């Protein structure tokens, strides 16, 4: 018979889910009840794939100038062409979960906007950097590469003994040889310059994974919010690593029964696939009224 640790694989997303609602964690990770893919989820996967592939497309030779508008146009064209390739795989490699062509088109146009903004920001910061560098220096390429190219992309890390794994979107080398972990987010953020608690929990879990895997502390975790182009960072400390260690111990010490994982009723329940399991006799509108009171 499998032990609790063998049967329950944890990940940064699982830790964030546990933090948001333990009952949902129970249904999703212990009972493994399948959930319907949503347009947000599919768009998120496509966007991650586009950004992963983008750096294969960019050549350092093309960025030896500092004309940011030209760079913007080039980056934008590359990103949109990668987006079109992935978007055409909806219904094949990605589930077609859109309500109809209208909704699908709206999501496509919105994603194009995010990527255009990403291209503009990247082009501007890169051109600014290139201005400060000596193009004839033998270090030029290395410096641009370090500033601009990810050190890792979609890096899967597995802690076999702990049965814990995760995929890190991107890491960047910092100038003191430490690294920053970058997590892309396509979801809405409640406030500007703000990291929602569940995102922070997930980010700390990536840092935990990195620390345990390489025995090196990442310097910080950055969240890049594609909707707004905001990048918000959080410096990682030993306390954060300990916090995640405690979460894992807490989860692993629980019996895998429903009663051990309480519900957390919030407005988010109305978007949750398990609403019917949790509130079988309630309509969503009655539920919202109760939450407000
Ligand atoms: S409906 Fe609400 S309480 Fe139930 S699992 Fe989903 S988020 Fe948790």
Ligand 1 atom closest to the Cα of residue 278 is 4
For residue 22, report the distance from its CA to the centre of ligand 1, in Å: 8
Number of other residues whose CB lies within 10 A of the CB of residue 198: 18
CB 81 within 8 A of CB 115: no
Report H helices in the chain.
4-7, 12-20, 22-25, 39-57, 68-87, 101-132, 140-148, 197-214, 238-252, 275-278, 284-292
**Measured CA distances, 39 to 22, 65, 88, 187, 264 (Å):** 24, 39, 15, 11, 24
CA 62 to ligand 1 center in whole angstroms: 49
Q: Whose CA is nearest to atom 3 of ligand 1?
A: 263
Q: Name which residue sits closest to atom 7 of ligand 1, judged by CA.
A: 269
Task: Determine contact, residues 197/19, Cβ cutoff 8 Å.
Answer: yes
Q: What residue has token string 């062509």?
A: 101
Predicted confidence pLDDT, tens digits, the chain (293 residues)? 667 777 899 999 999 999 999 999 999 999 999 999 999 999 999 999 999 999 887 776 667 667 889 989 999 999 999 999 999 999 999 999 999 999 999 999 999 999 999 999 999 988 888 887 777 777 777 888 888 889 999 999 999 999 999 999 999 988 777 899 999 998 877 788 889 999 999 999 999 999 999 999 999 999 999 888 888 999 999 999 999 999 999 999 999 999 999 999 999 999 999 999 999 988 988 888 888 76
Its pTM stands at 0.91
At residue 138, φ and ψ (nearest 5 deg) are -70, -15
Which residues lie with the beta carbon below 6 Å from any ligand 1 atom? 21, 23-24, 263-265, 268-269, 272, 274-275, 278
Whether 47 and 40 have beta carbons less than 8 Å apart is answered as no
Kindly give the number of the ligand 1 atom that is closest to the alpha carbon of 264.
3
Question: 3-state DSSP: the chain helix, strand, coil percent, rounded to 5?
Answer: 55, 15, 30
Question: What spatial distance separates the first Cα and last Cα of the chain, rounded to whole Å?
Answer: 47
The two tokens of residue 239 are 């306390």
Residue of minimum CA distance from atom 4 in ligand 1: 278
Write down all domains in the chain, each with its CATH number in brackets. 39-148 (no CATH), 151-252 (3.90.320.10), 263-292 (no CATH)
Which residues, in sequence order, are CB contacts of 99 under 8 Å at separation 6+?
none
């Amino acid at each position: 018979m499998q032990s609790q640790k063998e049967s329950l694989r944890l990940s940064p997303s699982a830790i964030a889910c546990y933090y948001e609602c333990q009952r949902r964690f129970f249904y999703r990770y212990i009972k493994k009840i399948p959930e319907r893919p949503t347009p947000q989820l599919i768009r998120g996967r496509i966007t991650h794939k586009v950004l992963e592939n983008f750096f294969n497309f960019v050549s350092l030779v093309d960025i030896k100038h500092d004309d940011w508008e030209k760079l913007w146009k080039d980056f934008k064209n590359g990103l949109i062409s990668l987006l079109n390739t992935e978007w055409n795989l909806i219904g094949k490699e990605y589930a077609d979960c859109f309500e109809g062509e209208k909704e699908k088109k709206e999501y496509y146009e919105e994603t194009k906007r995010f990527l255009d903004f990403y291209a503009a920001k990247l082009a501007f910061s890169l051109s600014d950097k290139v201005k400060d560098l000596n193009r004839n220096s033998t270090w030029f390429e290395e410096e641009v590469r370090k500033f601009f190219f990810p050190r890792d992309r979609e890096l899967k890390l597995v802690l076999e003994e702990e049965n814990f794994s995760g995929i890190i979107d991107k890491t960047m080398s910092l100038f003191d040889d430490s690294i920053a972990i970058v997590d892309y987010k396509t979801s809405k953020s409640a406030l500007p310059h703000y990291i929602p608690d569940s995102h922070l929990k997930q980010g700390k879990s990536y840092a935990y994974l990195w620390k345990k895997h390489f025995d090196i502390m990442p310097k910080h975790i950055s969240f890049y919010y594609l909707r707004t182009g905001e990048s918000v960072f959080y410096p990682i400390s030993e306390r954060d690593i300990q916090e995640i260690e405690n979460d894992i111990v807490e989860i692993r010490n629980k019996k895998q029964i429903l009663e051990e994982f309480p519900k957390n009723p919030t407005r988010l329940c109305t978007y949750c696939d398990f609403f019917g399991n949790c509130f079988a006799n309630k309509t969503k509108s009655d539920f919202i009224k109760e939450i407000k009171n």
